[in-house]
Amino acid sequence: MKLLGIDIGGTNTKIGIVEDGKILKKTALKTNMIQGYDNFLDRLTKEVDTLTKGIDYAGVGVGCPGIIDTKNGVVAYANNLYFKNVPLASDISKRLHGKKVSISNDANTQALGEVKYGAGKGFSDVIMITLGTGVGAGIVVDGKLFEGYKGMGCEGGHTVIVVDGEPCSCGRNGCFEAYSSASALKRDTLKEMINDRQSLLWDIVKNDLNEVDGGTIFRGMEKGDKTSEKLFRNYVKYLSEGITNFVNVFRPQAVILGGGMAKEGDTLTNAVQEQVDEKRYGGKDSLPCKIFTPILGNDAAIIGAAELNN
Amino acid sequence: MKLLGIDIGGTNTKIGIVEDGKILKKTALKTNMIQGYDNFLDRLTKEVDTLTKGIDYAGVGVGCPGIIDTKNGVVAYANNLYFKNVPLASDISKRLHGKKVSISNDANTQALGEVKYGAGKGFSDVIMITLGTGVGAGIVVDGKLFEGYKGMGCEGGHTVIVVDGEPCSCGRNGCFEAYSSASALKRDTLKEMINDRQSLLWDIVKNDLNEVDGGTIFRGMEKGDKTSEKLFRNYVKYLSEGITNFVNVFRPQAVILGGGMAKEGDTLTNAVQEQVDEKRYGGKDSLPCKIFTPILGNDAAIIGAAELNN
């Protein structure tokens, strides 16, 4: 059965025709929501119609950032998209010839794709933590997305791990996101560099602070830079505390670390694995919980969105 | 249908015959696990046989502290009871004439009782946070206990809210429990009293530090004691941060504050309500989440244990 998966991001929107967890054809457009919601829907519909020409598909799944009322197909709130109570599912359905449209949070669709067809294949209980501009948590319990009351999604990045800590975009202080996102690591890297003009990190970014991102310290560690190692240990510490919180509540068989930080692979997962094993309730007497990076890449969100209708 | 509910605590074990969420008859015994597990089972069986003489009951539900493998009826780990991989359900079943025995974490059974027949009646998604010696979280999602993978329970008290914070019994630092339990408040009260020999709190406990407990500052506030008010604001702050973390993940319709601290009623719940409303993701645009205290008292855990078989 062919299904359509749509992954709406703040910058790009990706569309794919999916069958048995594989993308047969895909395309993308700039989200550019600042040009208006109707304009976005017009451009989206045009792309879908071109992509699916001559291909019959059974339903449409959409991953979207923000708080989603999945039962009613409404985006309650998504600041990056300027959405407040937008009936996205019915609006897309109207333009796509009345097809059934299901929506969910994009961290959830990515987790669902990765769990069912990627790094989590074979497990029933998996949490995917996306470490990018923000931190998202997609939680799969007994093979199904866990989405909270009324499917309002799980704002896992907005759980405080340091009361009165670093300010977070959500208005609280000390959120998991404010320590574990790629943006948080970038913030801490910049701070250290400004304090330490001798750091090798300045060479790595060719003295251009605009070049600093969440991966910079990993390049520094490859060159034996001490500042980078210190920043890495600190980042892993807070990240592991946040992950262990979820492990103690959901007791997943695996945690998948996605988002931009995932490209650091084993360097990141091995360090996190060690700390989570030490910190989780019951320690090594408890059920194992493996830390992985994704294997489907950006496709996971498209595949997972399609999977919403499977 | 009559059901048997057993609530095993570190100090006392309570037993009740339950029908339609009401306790028809009840009894209790000292847990005294230090005398040995078989000794406990002998005394438990005797109490049950006396209580149920001439009364037919369909099944037995047991609430027990620790990590429980509910699917297999095994207590994986319960430090207060010296339990490690104890097949409690089958051991009790053998002694109770082969009756069906289900077990679950005691925070869960208490939540289930309170949600179905107490303060949470009418709601489908409720979290009960017990604030006693430790902090437990019983989570009801869509009318059912949420118990994590393999029913290993949710160690909600052991989620860090202050990285590198106060030491916790679980080995981590900065757990929710280390700030929000009655024991934590007692610790902070003692610390303040020792720093402030003029505090009214000394009068309240008649200069006996052994009399200090989680309720002491509430008696102090009734007399206008400034130290008590400061301790209260601090306690509510950390408690609300921890609760908001759960609210952002599970989006419950209500949070019930149980355990020893619940007797402080509106003074506690009103202050927590205000902070949770301010801190939770989406703020007042989000679905309401009411903060209550329980209404069933100690009976909730017995009723909820019985409810495991309903």
Q: How far apart are CA B308 and CA B310, in angstroms?
A: 6
More confident residue, B129 or B149: B129
Residue A83, phi then psi, degrees to nearest 5: -95, 135
Contact list in A for residue B79 (CB cut-off 8 A) is none
**DSSP secondary structure letters along chain A:** --EEEEEE-SSEEEEEEEETTEEEEEEEEE--GGG-HHHHHHHHHHHHHHHTTT---SEEEEEESSEEETTTTEEEEEGGGTEEEE-HHHHHHHHTTT-EEEEEEHHHHHHHHHHHHSTTTT-SSEEEEEESSSEEEEEEETTEEE--GGG----GGGSBSBTT-SB-TTS-BSBTHHHHSHHHHHHHHHHHHHH-TT-THHHHTTT-GGG--TTHHHHHHHTT-HHHHHHHHHHHHHHHHHHHHHHHHH--SEEEEESGGGGGHHHHHHHHHHHHHHHSTTGGGSPP-EEE--SSTTHHHHHHHHHTT-
Q: What is the mean pLDDT of residues B30-54?
A: 96
Structure tokens at A44: 């989206």
Chain A: closest CA distance from residue B43 (Å): 29
Contact list in A for residue B238 (CB cut-off 8 A) is 163
Q: What is the mean pLDDT of residues B157-174?
A: 95
Structure tokens at A170: 């959500």
Contact A164, A173 (CB under 8 A): yes
> Which chain A residue is nearest to residue B164, measuring alpha carbons?
A162
Q: How far apart are CA B60 and CA B92, in angstroms?
A: 9
The per-residue pLDDT for A149 is 80
Residue B286 in this model has a pLDDT that exceeds 80: no
Residue stretches of chain A with pLDDT short of 50: none
Q: How far apart are CA B219 and CA B241, in angstroms?
A: 24
Contact A88, A64 (CB under 8 A): yes
Sign of the CA dihedral running B232, B237, B238, B239: positive
Among A306, A285, A259, A234, which Cα is nearest to A63's? A306
Query: ipTM beyond 0.95?
Result: no
A249 touches chain B (CB under 8 A): yes
Structure tokens at A178: 């404010």
Cα-Cα-Cα-Cα torsion B145, B257, B290, B174, nearest 10 degrees, comes to -90
Residue B143 pLDDT class (50, 70, 90 cuts): confident
A288 touches chain B (CB under 8 A): no
Extended strands (E) in chain B: 3-8, 12-19, 22-30, 59-64, 67-69, 74-78, 83-86, 100-105, 126-131, 135-141, 144-146, 254-258, 290-292
Q: What is the pLDDT of residues B182-228, one digit of tens each?
A: 999 999 999 999 999 989 999 999 999 999 999 999 999 999 999 99
Residue B263 in this model has a pLDDT that exceeds 90: yes
Number of CB atoms found within 10 A of residue A113's CB: 32
Give, as one character, the DSSP assignment of residue B160. Answer: B
Tell me which amino acid residue A215 is: G
Cα-Cα-Cα-Cα torsion A14, A15, A16, A20, nearest 10 degrees, comes to 80
Q: Name the residue with tokens 């799980």.
A: A154
Chain A: closest CA distance from residue B143 (Å): 11
Q: What is the mean pLDDT of residues B56-75?
A: 92
Q: What is the pLDDT of residues A80-133, one digit of tens each?
A: 899 999 999 999 999 999 999 999 988 889 889 998 899 999 999 999 999 998
- The answer to pTM > 0.80 is yes
Average pLDDT for chain B = 93
CB-CB under 8 Å, A283 with B152? no
Q: What is the pLDDT of residues A233-271, one digit of tens each?
A: 999 999 999 999 999 999 999 999 998 999 999 999 999
A144 touches chain B (CB under 8 A): no
The per-residue pLDDT for A227 is 94
A52 touches chain B (CB under 8 A): no
Q: How far apart are CA B271 and CA B287, in angstroms?
A: 19
Give, as one character, the DSSP assignment of residue B54. Answer: T
The per-residue pLDDT for A103 is 96
CB-CB under 8 Å, B286 with A245? no
The angle subtended at Cα A29 by Cα A260 and Cα A216, nearest 5°, is 20
Residue B152 in this model has a pLDDT that exceeds 80: no
Question: Which positions 251-270 of B are in contact with A (Cβ < 8 Å)?
Answer: 251-253
Sign of the CA dihedral running B196, B200, B205, B207: positive
Q: How far apart are CA B156 and CA B243, in angstroms?
A: 10
